[in-house]
Amino acid sequence: MRQLCPSPFVVRGLTLCLVMILATPARPQNPRADDSLPVLYGIKLDGARVAIDVVSSGCTDASHFSVRLAPELPDAYRLSVIRHRQDRCRMGAHIVTLTLDIPAVPNPPGADFLLMNRLATSVTLRRSDP
């Protein structure tokens, strides 16, 4: 019986295809989501402040974040929590709650907010106590 032996050209071509498939990141197609916004593990609006739950490696504090509002409709705003600095500490990752000020809006009680950050639930990360 004769054995089939693929040519070196075919082997290189298949290897290149495999590398290209593995190198392409798989992400959900969501045109309104901003990939640069941090994932939030919880959020709570309280008047002119917002409490957020984020991942920390030991050095994350409220000065690393800010809140941006963009008008969507009358009395409706897109709320984005933006991270300005990364946490470079080496402590085990855990979830912390931080409180941030919300920029002033004309009609606070009647305002609606559309959160632009992705929300996630943590199954493996522990929550640190305040």
Each domain of the chain, given as residue ranges in start order, spans: 34-127
- Residue 116 is predicted with a pLDDT of 93
Rounded Cα distance between 91 and 105, Å, is 38
Per-residue pLDDT of the chain (130 residues; tens, 9 = 90+): 566 676 777 777 777 766 667 765 554 444 444 557 999 999 998 888 899 999 998 889 899 999 999 988 888 899 999 999 888 888 888 899 999 998 888 877 788 889 999 998 877 777 776 5
pLDDT recorded at residue 66: 93
* 79 contact partners, CB below 8 Å, separation of at least 6: 50, 67, 68, 69, 102, 113, 114, 115, 116
